[in-house]
Amino acid sequence: MKAPTRFDARDDTVGIGRDLLARLVAAQADPPLPVDGFTIGIAEMSENSPHGGEMHPDGDEVLYLISGHVNVVFEDENLADVDMQPGDGLVVPKGVWHRVDILAPSKILYATPGPGGEYRPL
């Protein structure tokens, strides 16, 4: 049996591979380190991401707003933007271009699929 692993969500993210085993991954600004599975962490943001949008071809992304206020903007004209308040969760569909606009300093819990991902420059 493997021993439990403590981590600090402010400094580390957790990668869960396709084998469903977890490993610690150093936290970094977008784009996150690629994991063949899901990268799970908390983003503390006071300004918009340093990119003009992102898309995850490997699966749906899950967002949960812990604190603050954000607006998730979709580039698909058939999808309405989503205003998020603390306690709100959102599943961003696989392959949909989106960005998170920060309206107030925020903490967002994310589960981002990988290893692929595309980011547009500002």
In this predicted model, what pLDDT tens digit does every residue of 26-82 receive, in sequence order? 776 666 677 899 999 999 999 998 889 999 999 999 999 999 999 999 999 999 999
Domain positions in the chain are 12-116
Task: Report yes or no: 35 and 17 within 8 Å, Cβ to Cβ.
Answer: yes
Burial 50-62 (b: 16+ CB within 10 A, else e): eeebbbbebbbbb
Name the maximum alpha-carbon separation found in the chain.
49
Share of the chain above pLDDT 90, in %: 69
Weakest-pLDDT range from 4-8, 67-71, 75-79, 85-89:
4-8
For the ranges 3-12, 15-24, 42-51, 60-69, the maximum mean pLDDT occurs at 60-69
| Band (122; pLDDT cuts 50, 70, 90) | confident
Q: Is the peptide bond before 31 cis (omega within 30 degrees of 0)?
A: yes
Question: Does the pLDDT value for residue 1 go beyond 50?
Answer: no
Nearest Cα to 39, choosing from 26, 50, 48? Answer: 26
Give the fold, CATH level 3, of 12-116.
Jelly Rolls (2.60.120)
- Burial of 113: CB neighbours in 10 Å, binned 0-12, 13-18, 19+: buried
C-alpha to C-alpha distance for 37 and 45, rounded to whole angstroms = 24
Residues 6+ apart with CB under 8 A from 71: 81, 82, 83, 84, 100, 101, 103
pTM: 0.89
